[in-house]
Structure 1
Amino acid sequence: MDYTAAIQALLYVAGDDGTTVDVLAQALEMDIAPVRQTIAKLKANLAADTTQGLVILEHGKIIKLATKPEFSAAIQSFLSGNVGQHLSQAALEVLAIIAYQQPITRLEIDDVRGVNSSGALQTLIARQMIQETGRKEVPGRPILYATSDYFLDYFGLTDLKQLPPLTEVEGTDDTDGADVNLFFDKFQNILNDDNNDQGV
């Protein structure tokens, strides 16, 4: 196994939450020292390679992948325009879940969708549709996500109470166990309204 490539892949999967050397070492069944050395090598290689658009950032014990600052203008240009046209189905699903269950952690979103949502969260943060609102007071203190003011402005909402109401799930108003389609179908209403307003 190419451990440099494996670490890069794990950092990608970890998404905006990032991860720690200890977690990487455990996942790769390696000692911490060689993992640190491999991360340092990967970090230097990405920073020096002009054909790569990513860098490794370290904040305390947290390590994560990020885009290089020199590409910020191109990224902003790419992200501009209609959300429905440029967001993947996965990102729209995650946005819908956050809109209805915020503040919410990535693992809680994953539980609803049944798949990892790191990539979709990174996309939504980059497009300023969601934001970090603190950390949940549980072991590991995972990041909490919520919709942003830009989300409200984009969809012409003045308050989250204007979101289409969720129907009761299995005879109860508790939506913790709701299927992702319930959130997405309701959210699709405002997405369609927005597209119609823009002539999409």
Structure 2
Amino acid sequence: MEEAAIEALLFVAGDEGLTLEEIASLLDISTQSAFAQLMSLQQMYASSKRGLMLLEAGEKYELATKKDFSEIVKKYASSPFATSLSQAALENLAIIAYKQPLTRLEIDEIRGVHSGASLQKLVLRGLIEEKGRMEAPGRPILYGTTQYFMDYFGLKTLSDLPDIKDLEQTDEEESEADLFFERFKGQFADSIEEEQEEL
């Protein structure tokens, strides 16, 4: 049960990973027990035909795809299935654009939901990138927008973004923010239209 719980935690933590102490604290177990479960998971992934592996990076543990599947992962990243962005990804991008640099946990707090998968897609699309690490326990990644983001929206500086007050206008009002998101709809039309139809 604890092994499965650790697997679930590592999945939702994404590329941020978790330290041994964080895992032990979340599961209310000793670090020795958490380490034993991690080693068991590592052996299970290493000996099975699964596409994942347990990666230890610095003091953190995270799930990653095995090198054997790098080509199929690259194929997915460049396929039509990965070229469209969901409403959730757009919301994350807007938050990062206006409040950068900030961590995944800060984004999660603003949206009230887990944003790891959306952030990974934004990184793959070249719209956001790591801007450093926060000087805090675990040194979480700080995300910010890329030069590609600036070029795509025709921005010289971040001060050229639509006024944040426009984002608070009612749906009936036309605003710069509407135009801001229209630019995304032009490139990622299929998924955005489907998401908006559901709202």
Q: TM-score range by the shorter chain?
A: 0.7 to 0.9
Alignment of 1:38 onto 2:37: yes
* Two-structure CA RMSD over aligned residues (Å): 3.0
| 1:63 matched residue in structure 2 | 61
Q: Once the two structures are superposed, what CA deviation does each residue of 1:80-105 show, in whole Å capped at 9, x if it has no partner?
A: 25699633332222122112222111
**1:17 CA drift (Å):** 1.0
Q: Once the two structures are superposed, what CA deviation does each residue of 1:43-88 show, in whole Å capped at 9, x if it has no partner?
A: 12113322x2211111221111112222222222222256996333
CA distance in 2: counterparts of 1:84 and 1:24, whole angstroms: 31
| 1:8 matched residue in structure 2 | 7
Structure 2 residue runs of 5 or longer lacking an equivalent are 169-174, 194-199
CA distance in 2: counterparts of 1:3 and 1:139, whole angstroms: 24
| 1:105 matched residue in structure 2 | 103
Aligned length: 183
TM-score, scaled to structure 2: 0.76
CA distance in 1: counterparts of 2:134 and 2:65, whole angstroms: 26
Classify 1:62/1:195 alpha carbon distance in 2 versus 1 (closer, same or farther; 3 Å).
closer
Alignment of 1:135 onto 2:125: no
SS in 2 for 1:141: coil
| 2:182 matched residue in structure 1 | 189
CA distance in 1: counterparts of 2:183 and 2:84, whole angstroms: 16
Structure 1 residue runs of 5 or longer lacking an equivalent are 171-181
**1:19 CA drift (Å):** 0.8
Letter in 2 for 1:189: E
TM-score, scaled to structure 1: 0.76
**1:164 CA drift (Å):** 3.5
**1:156 CA drift (Å):** 5.5
| 2:19 matched residue in structure 1 | 20
Classify 1:99/1:85 alpha carbon distance in 2 versus 1 (closer, same or farther; 3 Å).
same
Letter in 2 for 1:25: A
**1:192 CA drift (Å):** 2.2
Give the number of the structure whose residues are more often helix, by fraction. Answer: 2
Q: Please, which moves more after superposition, 63-72 or 121-130?
A: 121-130
Between the two proteins, what is the percent identity of the paired residues?
43
| 1:159 matched residue in structure 2 | 156
Q: Give the one of 114, 118, 121 matched to 1:120.
A: 118
CA distance in 2: counterparts of 1:93 and 1:32, whole angstroms: 37
Classify 1:90/1:108 alpha carbon distance in 2 versus 1 (closer, same or farther; 3 Å).
same
CA distance in 1: counterparts of 2:162 and 2:82, whole angstroms: 17
CA distance in 1: counterparts of 2:113 and 2:178, whole angstroms: 18
Letter in 1 for 2:46: A
